[in-house]
């Protein structure tokens, strides 16, 4: 059976990695802890490992409502606890009265440390409070190397993950009709901009599908895809409902408010 046919060509490398993890746990009888995975990667991992085999998995990102999670893959006779995920929570201490720090600035600072995105979980913001999850193995390095974000002097304070802030996202659902499922056309419909403008967004590297930068306007979107355009928020393509009499596609989307 060709497992690759169920996924996109650009996902092959990650599929091979998941199969390698599974095989490692199966043959070495040893658990495997992954980096933080985005929801698409989690979905692929769930499908490849399955629910009833000799290898099991649990996902945890530090809190219930987070997107990015580490996977703990283990033989069926073991169990997983929260401690196995090796996650710590940092709060950013900064002069809230005088500066505003944005999500992209926090991410940019963390990425400038030379570590992979997979070493960090969600970045949470609410009423001026900012927190982020990190892998325990890089927490000391992170703490000693982050002293400023943007123009603000900051201090990272490690806190118990029970103190996590809950930042609820609001989404609105609607149905659309688009002339094709090409990425530029779908973006044009969701964000109510011209095709020309959506093309520019894609060419400028502002568009991600399933957390991966896509620079091909003719990329075909599918149900379940998460689309984000920098500065315009995120949207999820919930369903592709078929064609109208005029040969247009009916789709339903959920867009971040």
pTM: predicted TM-score of the whole model, two decimal places: 0.84
Tell me if residue 26 falls in helix, strand or coil.
helix
| Per-residue model confidence (pLDDT) at position 24 | 97
Q: Span 248-256, mean pLDDT?
A: 93
pLDDT value for 199: 96
Residue 91 forms beta bridges with which residues?
131, 157
Residues forming beta bridges with residue 135, ordered by sequence position: 87
Q: At what angle are helices 195-203 and 183-191 packed, to 10 degrees?
A: 120
Tokens of 90: 């940092």
DSSP codes, 67-122: S-EEEEEEETTS---GGGG-EEEEEEE--TTT----HHHHHHHHHTTT--GGGEEE
Question: Which tens digits make up the pLDDT trace of 91-115?
Answer: 999 999 999 999 889 999 999 999 9
Write out pLDDT tens, residues 137-179: 999 999 999 999 998 999 999 999 999 998 777 789 999 999 9
Helix (H) or strand (E) holding 252: strand 249-256
State the average pLDDT over residues 43-67. Answer: 93
């Amino acid at each position: 059976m060709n497992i690759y046919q169920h996924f996109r060509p650009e996902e092959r490398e990650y599929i091979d990695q998941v199969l390698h993890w599974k095989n490692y746990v199966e043959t070495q009888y040893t658990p495997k802890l992954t980096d933080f995975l985005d929801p698409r990667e989690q979905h692929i991992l769930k499908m490849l490992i399955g629910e009833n085999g000799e290898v099991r998995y649990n996902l945890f990102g530090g809190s219930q409502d987070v997107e990015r999670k580490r996977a703990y893959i283990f033989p069926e006779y073991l169990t997983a606890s929260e401690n196995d995920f090796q996650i710590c929570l940092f709060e950013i201490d900064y002069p809230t009265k005088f500066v505003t720090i944005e999500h992209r600035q926090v991410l940019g600072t963390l990425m400038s440390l030379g570590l992979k995105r997979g070493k960090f979980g969600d970045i949470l913001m609410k009423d001026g409070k900012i927190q982020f999850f990190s892998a325990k193995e890089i927490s000391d390095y992170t703490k000693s190397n982050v002293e400023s974000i943007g123009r603000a002097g900051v201090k990272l304070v490690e806190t118990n993950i029970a103190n996590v802030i809950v930042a609820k996202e609001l989404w609105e659902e609607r149905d659309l009709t688009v002339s094709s499922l090409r990425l530029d056309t779908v973006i044009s419909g969701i964000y109510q901009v011209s095709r020309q403008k959506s093309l520019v967004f894609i060419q400028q590297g502002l568009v991600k599908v399933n957390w991966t930068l896509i620079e091909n306007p003719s990329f075909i979107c599918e149900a379940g895809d998460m689309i984000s355009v920098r500065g315009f928020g995120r949207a999820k393509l919930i369903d592709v409902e078929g064609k109208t009499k005029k040969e247009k596609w009916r789709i339903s989307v959920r867009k971040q408010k």
